[in-house]
Structure 1
Amino acid sequence: METSAITAIYAECSGLPTPVSADLTEQHVGGQGLRVYTVNSEWSQINLVGGSRLRFMQQWTLLVDHHDDRKTLRTALPPGPCAPLQGELLRCFSPVRGLRAVVRETSGNHQILEIWDSHGLRKSLDLTALNKHGPVYNDAQFGCLSWSECESRLLYVAERTQSSSAESPGKSPCGKTGNVSVLRGVPSHISPGQALWAPGSRVVVFVGWSHEPFRLGLKFCSNRRSALFRLGLDGHCECLSGADVSISSPRLSPDGTTLVYLQGRVFGPHNQCYDLQSKKTSILVDVVNRPNPDSQRVIFSSACRNRKDLFVVDRRTNIVAFLSDNLSEVYGSWKLLTIQKDLMVVCCSSPNTPPTLRVGFLPPSGGTVEWQTLHQPGVTFDLHWTVLDVTPTAEEDNTQYSGLDFGAVLVKPRDDFHGAKIPLVVFIHGGPHSQFPAEWNTTTAGLVHLGFAVLMGFGQDSILSLIGRIGDQDVKDVQRAVTTALQSDATLDPKRLAVIGGSHGGFLSCHLVGQYPDLYRACAARNPVINAATLLGTTLAVMLERSPITHAAQIQVPVLLMLGAKDKRVSPHQGLELYRALKSRDSPVRLLWFPEDGHSLCRVDTQADCFLNTALWLLQYL
């Protein structure tokens, strides 16, 4: 196949926009219970020609009937044209007056705080020139932009400078003065983030990450020691949570009486999940417990086996219910973007359905949501997907966690190719604390377009079962999933199997072609862990024994390695070690080196290169 044809397929799959966030404002319109809701959504889209990621905003106006506490969406007006977001780092709408706060970066590397209202730009502050703090954080871990209840102050987190005696968060009053001040009282041994205002605009709540024994990396490792803090504008600070836990995502109830947050074990699983069989839920922590008919239900989206679904949990009964509709077979993934005034904005997708924006009101307890689609993807894909249940054999069963099963998502072309069997690509997720849910995936869609079937998404129900069994149990789990897929689908070709994956997925990919050298015909690994012992700076026999490098002599299949020179998560020397081992044995191996990219290989040009070369590699050897 010509490279231009592969590139065209990738451009079609990767160029679809994805909603990443949403905000809501509400207005009363005369009598008759009619109200107007405005949905402001931010989208991300890849521009393959320009080698960049575009960000733009799109707005919908909803006409809503309010009758006896029942809200019904009457109509959604057609959206206006998309508006590109130039230099915006953070954005937030005030809850009552609909003021729009923006932290923007200019071409001169200055960060500007802007306040917009219905008449245009109301105020602009050059935060860099004020020299109160360093750069404002806009990442998901620390970044925030929060309006106070009185809508006269904004809260954000920024880098501390030598001139400031305390770590940010910074507070920026937005009235006539336009002063910017650094909040005092943040303990010196923590880094604050994810801050928000408590009712009354005199207290803020934030998550603080410990510096002891030193600052640990948080990217891909959200399970570091952290705590929830309450900080008054007078500088008084107190800890609201335990000392040896991992805290994230604090949210305040609409009535301001209850604070809900996620809590997990330090160095435990990176992400918790909800188990429908055991009825276990994430912990709900009531900072203020006051009987009130409002604010009693918590809405969240969470992984549930190989799907992402939308849930509501009633704090009074701990009963958890689904909020997704009977289109669960169409949309395998539901992601909550925001909920305000009981209006939910969600992003739905599946392996054959690109991201779709939908809205619906939270119904009374026991009711169903009347969902309405605001944005349909511009392109649909005629792919078939199904979820397979995988059960390890008795010999593979982990006696400490007996009976664990898991799911795998199989995606393949709908055409039967006139009876010809379909080559299977086993796509393994990284982590190992992550998953491949039944959602839109550019790589998967592109490979299926090229005529491959793709198996993805397997992993243990409990990541704790892997402790001490990395490189053994997880390898057997993948192989069991492959065996299950081949036995359940006669259209798959068992003689044309390949395996691909990144990070821990690359680790398992290399394990599979080393431990099962006669089953696979090709491998493509991105920034794989190859020798776990060298990651610790010492030679540990057990770590070495569990590493793919010990099976290098058994690897017979062609191996494509893609490495980022700036990878701080897994040293690129890991991949180079396997490359040299295979090269010395004259095994077919190719190395792609990306000098400006890191662990995620997330640059637009890098992602395109990786897909093109992976596709060519698989087409050549399958």
Structure 2
Amino acid sequence: MEGAVITINEASSCLFNVQLLTDTEEIAALYRELCQFPSLSSACIGPEVTTQYGGKYCNIYTEWSQRDLERAENVKFCRQYLIFHDSQSIVFSSPSGNCTEIKGELLSRDSPSGTQKAVLRKTSNSKGEEKQFLEVWEKSRKVKSIELTALEKHGQVYEDDQFGCLAWSHSESHLLYVAEKKRPKTESFFKPKAPEMSSEEELTKRRDKAIKGEQFLFYEDWGETLVAKSIPVLCVLDIESNNVSVLESVPEHISPGQITFHTTRTMQILSALFYVDLTGGRCELLSEDTKAIWSPRLSPDQCRIVYLENQASGPHQQCSRLCMYDWYTKHTSVVVDIVPRQSQGEFTGIYNTTLPEHCWAADSQRVVLDTAQRSKQELIVIDTLSGSVCFLTKGYPLGSWALLTVDRDLLVAKFSTPNCPPKLMVAFLPPAGKEAEVNWVCLEEASSIQDITWDVLTFQPPPEQDNPQYAGLDFEAILLRPTQVPETGKIPLVVSPHGGPHSVFTTSWTLYPAVLCRMGFAVLLVNYRGSLGFGQDCVDSLLGNVGTQDVNDVQFCVEKVLQKEPLDPQRVALLGGSHGGFLSCHLIGQNPGTYKACVARNPVVNIASMVGSTDIPDWCLTEAGLPYDYAVLPDPAHWKQMLLHSPMQYVNKVQTPVLLMIGEEDRRVPPKQGLEYYHALKARGIPTRMLWYPGNNHALSGVEAEADGFMNIALWLIKHLK
């Protein structure tokens, strides 16, 4: 049954005969078909308008992204919708016009009143030189266009998720953003002296005097996805005067980001919460500076700030606290604490990389967000006074939800399943205490793919594999199956453990599994112990046990599924990236007879050799169960321990053909990890192939690399699962 949550001994399906798709042209056509489904990235709600007849309506602006294989890029486009409502329910809704492509936009933000829009745009001139412009649009025209590059007040403006922001003041007279600090001009020791100059020219030269011998000075950046971003600074644009100021009141050791205006003040976050008084030039610490704190969100009445908090050390992703700072009492409270483990099918905790930009209800008391709950992504509403949690998606079809925005209690979200691309959903948040009565309306429908069925399977590890420190933990897997089976009656299986290791597969739309399933493969997405969404105990249970507990979970899951499902045990393959690649390489070494093909994307293969070259050395020691101190080198026992947790120790047992896919610009798992494994396999005569993708980092998310990667994966699986 599609979308069922079942235990392993209950799986069943109604299937028919079909051949595995093997023709290259047909596979490429299938990939092209499914990659055209767009992803929904953001939404904002326009001002509320009351008609002369008393009715109310507003505009919802949405941004989408779609792969364009011919242009080898992700194309961004927008679409708008009209919502007629009575402030409690949707009366009528309709798209407003056709989609329009968005070009060159890095950031955009509507002003508080909704009458203006700020846009950070990137352009290139005929020489290929990139420039950044900050634009202000009003109604049907552009009223400002300021070339930030020419002002030379700072370097490139940050547009990433970690530091990037574009914030309006409440007066709509100023814009705040984060940029790279301007670096001093440099020149060679041997540059010839310039001829004599006038006094005015001499004064200008002295002002812009270059520093000799520092043109090759190293600036350490923030690593993967933040390359060339080293020293962020806060910048303010006065819209009327076109003047840009770099705030000097932020201490050099603080890296600002994720900005929110509070009257004339602004809050930012790195590992603590600060406010900067833009008029007085004062920078004050508002929270503890020993925690990891992010996503500050100011309530509509400007009285409270909620934010997420974790321990500063330990796993990179884990269960988070939702904390609240009261602006007037200066008191900080924990609204929702860390959840050790799930109790009787209830709330499992908060697992978020970021809170939505707008997440407060109109009453300035409740907060809405999405979070993983086991293998699903759910929408929840939290009462900040009582700490109570209510689900906004119970009673609706099984799948995964993500909140895009909420304004005046109008919720905008997306919903998808493994066999259904994202749908755009809207609803009004009911009054406090009646949240479960929420009524969702679909604005943009997406058809389910009838050739794919899926289930969520639950597994209890055998007693000998239970973790005595965290006993009784279970785990899950999502199984996608074609509705038809080959004439043999057995479906080939692709097993995919996720990366992280502290992340999670949710019951949402993902391109690769969907295309593989349409080709005729079953796909098993394994959320082994250590995954997010199952409680903090589940996360902590994996520390010091990578390479054993996670490997055992995947293998146990595979063996059970092969027993209960119409799958071919002679045609089982592995597909994993990052820590999923780590597990794939472990599995073919520890269980050489199970898997007939393996694809590993930017895999960790030797933690000991990775620790000195990755941008996250703490990950290497933490996951191996070792203490981390950036000022202390690992001792010989630590190097040995990291090696013993690595797939490389099992390389002599590998029999499975391996396809490696490597991003040349990967800072997270450096390419030498893949090269090390490639050379070891080739030296032992194992059929091995490596794809090397220039210009791609850890995610291998470039459109060309992603498409080429899938075709090579499909052909590798077909070749070795005959």
Tell me the TM-score normalised to structure 1 length. 0.91
- Give the Cα separation in 1 of the matches to 2:310 and 2:544: 21
Residues 184-213 of structure 1: CA distance to partner in whole angstroms, max 9, x if unpaired?
A: 311110211000101x2x1001113xxxxx
Q: Tell me the residue number matched to 1:203.
A: 265
Listed as ranges, the gaps of 5+ residues in structure 1 are 209-225, 285-291
Q: Tell me the residue number matched to 2:419.
A: 352
Within the alignment, does 1:241 sit opposite 2:287 as a pair?
A: yes
CA RMSD of aligned residues (A): 2.1
Say if 1:186 and 1:377 are closer, same or farther in 2 by CA, change over 3 A: same
- Give the Cα separation in 1 of the matches to 2:644 and 2:418: 36
Q: CA deviation at 1:23?
A: 0.9
Within the alignment, does 1:613 sit opposite 2:715 as a pair?
A: no
- Give the Cα separation in 2 of the matches to 1:130 and 1:578: 48
- Give the Cα separation in 2 of the matches to 1:170 and 1:448: 49
1:392-431 alignment, distance < 5 Å: 392-417=461-486, 420-431=489-500
Match of 1:8, as an amino acid? A
Within the alignment, does 1:190 sit opposite 2:190 as a pair?
A: no
Q: CA deviation at 1:385?
A: 0.6
Residues 53-74 of structure 1: CA distance to partner in whole angstroms, max 9, x if unpaired?
A: 10111111111113xxxx2211
Contact 2:179 2:235 (8 Å CA) reproduced: yes
1:589-600 alignment, distance < 5 Å: 589-600=688-699
Contact 1:147 1:153 (8 Å CA) reproduced: yes
Match of 1:169, as an amino acid? L
- Give the Cα separation in 1 of the matches to 2:687 and 2:391: 49
Residues 232-278 of structure 1: CA distance to partner in whole angstroms, max 9, x if unpaired?
A: 11211111121211111111111211100000011333334466527
Within the alignment, does 1:528 sit opposite 2:603 as a pair?
A: yes
Query: What SS does structure 1 have at the residue aligned with 2:48?
Result: strand
Among candidates 502, 512, 516, match of residue 577 of structure 2: 502
Q: Tell me the residue number matched to 2:679.
A: 580
- Give the Cα separation in 1 of the matches to 2:680 and 2:504: 30
Q: Tell me the residue number matched to 1:76.
A: 93
Higher relative contact order (CA 8 A, sep 6+): 2
Q: Tell me the residue number matched to 2:159.
A: 138
**Bigger Cα displacement from structure 2, 398-407 vs 533-542:** 533-542
**Bigger Cα displacement from structure 2, 30-39 vs 1-10:** 30-39
Residues 568-591 of structure 1: CA distance to partner in whole angstroms, max 9, x if unpaired?
A: 111222222222222122121111
Q: Tell me the residue number matched to 2:407.
A: 340
Q: CA deviation at 1:33?
A: 4.5
Contact 2:350 2:371 (8 Å CA) reproduced: no
Q: Tell me the residue number matched to 2:661.
A: 562
Within the alignment, does 1:474 sit opposite 2:550 as a pair?
A: yes
Contact 2:362 2:407 (8 Å CA) reproduced: no
Contact 1:424 1:455 (8 Å CA) reproduced: yes
Match of 1:482, as an amino acid? V
Among candidates 69, 79, 86, match of residue 48 of structure 1: 69
Within the alignment, does 1:125 sit opposite 2:187 as a pair?
A: no
- Give the Cα separation in 1 of the matches to 2:651 and 2:466: 27
**Bigger Cα displacement from structure 2, 105-114 vs 41-50:** 105-114
Q: Tell me the residue number matched to 1:172.
A: 237
- Give the Cα separation in 2 of the matches to 1:260 and 1:163: 38
Within the alignment, does 1:29 sit opposite 2:94 as a pair?
A: no
Q: CA deviation at 1:436?
A: 1.1
Percent of paired sites with the same residue? 44
- Give the Cα separation in 1 of the matches to 2:145 and 2:400: 40
**Bigger Cα displacement from structure 2, 416-425 vs 7-16:** 416-425
Count residues in correspondence.
587
Contact 2:110 2:116 (8 Å CA) reproduced: yes
Query: What SS does structure 2 have at the residue aligned with 1:616?
Result: helix
- Give the Cα separation in 2 of the matches to 1:34 and 1:151: 28
Query: What SS does structure 1 have at the residue aligned with 2:63?
Result: strand
Match of 1:497, as an amino acid? V
Say if 1:281 and 1:598 are closer, same or farther in 2 by CA, change over 3 A: closer
Say if 1:282 and 1:509 are closer, same or farther in 2 by CA, change over 3 A: closer
- Give the Cα separation in 2 of the matches to 1:614 and 1:3: 12
Match of 2:155, as an amino acid? G
1:456-467 alignment, distance < 5 Å: 456-460=525-529, 461=534, 462-467=538-543
Among candidates 270, 273, 286, match of residue 228 of structure 1: 273
- Give the Cα separation in 1 of the matches to 2:648 and 2:316: 27
- Give the Cα separation in 2 of the matches to 1:595 and 1:149: 44
Q: Tell me the residue number matched to 1:214.
A: none
Contact 2:350 2:372 (8 Å CA) reproduced: no
Residues 471-530 of structure 1: CA distance to partner in whole angstroms, max 9, x if unpaired?
A: 1111111112212322332x1222221111011110100100110011111111011111
Contact 2:265 2:275 (8 Å CA) reproduced: yes
Query: What SS does structure 2 have at the residue aligned with 1:110?
Result: strand
Say if 1:466 and 1:148 are closer, same or farther in 2 by CA, change over 3 A: same
Contact 1:26 1:35 (8 Å CA) reproduced: no
Match of 1:155, as an amino acid? L
- Give the Cα separation in 2 of the matches to 1:276 and 1:147: 40
Query: What SS does structure 2 have at the residue aligned with 1:53?
Result: strand
Query: What SS does structure 1 have at the residue aligned with 2:527?
Result: coil
Within the alignment, does 1:517 sit opposite 2:592 as a pair?
A: yes
Q: CA deviation at 1:146?
A: 1.2
Within the alignment, does 1:86 sit opposite 2:103 as a pair?
A: yes
- Give the Cα separation in 2 of the matches to 1:21 and 1:78: 16
Query: What SS does structure 1 have at the residue aligned with 2:180?
Result: coil
Q: Tell me the residue number matched to 1:434.
A: 503
Match of 2:549, as an amino acid? Q
Residues 23-50 of structure 1: CA distance to partner in whole angstroms, max 9, x if unpaired?
A: 1112232456422211111111100122
Within the alignment, does 1:157 sit opposite 2:256 as a pair?
A: no
Match of 2:476, as an amino acid? G
Say if 1:51 and 1:167 are closer, same or farther in 2 by CA, change over 3 A: closer
Match of 2:556, as an amino acid? R
Match of 1:267, as an amino acid? S
Residues 133-171 of structure 1: CA distance to partner in whole angstroms, max 9, x if unpaired?
A: 11111111100111111222111111111479x952111
- Give the Cα separation in 2 of the matches to 1:18 and 1:126: 31
Contact 1:325 1:369 (8 Å CA) reproduced: no
Say if 1:34 and 1:269 are closer, same or farther in 2 by CA, change over 3 A: farther
Which protein has the larger Cα radius of gyration, Structure 1 or Structure 2? 2
Contact 1:33 1:65 (8 Å CA) reproduced: no
Contact 1:167 1:186 (8 Å CA) reproduced: no
Say if 1:153 and 1:497 are closer, same or farther in 2 by CA, change over 3 A: same
Query: What SS does structure 1 have at the residue aligned with 2:585?
Result: helix
- Give the Cα separation in 1 of the matches to 2:678 and 2:300: 56
Contact 1:388 1:485 (8 Å CA) reproduced: no
Within the alignment, does 1:57 sit opposite 2:90 as a pair?
A: no
Contact 2:155 2:183 (8 Å CA) reproduced: no
- Give the Cα separation in 2 of the matches to 1:251 and 1:342: 16
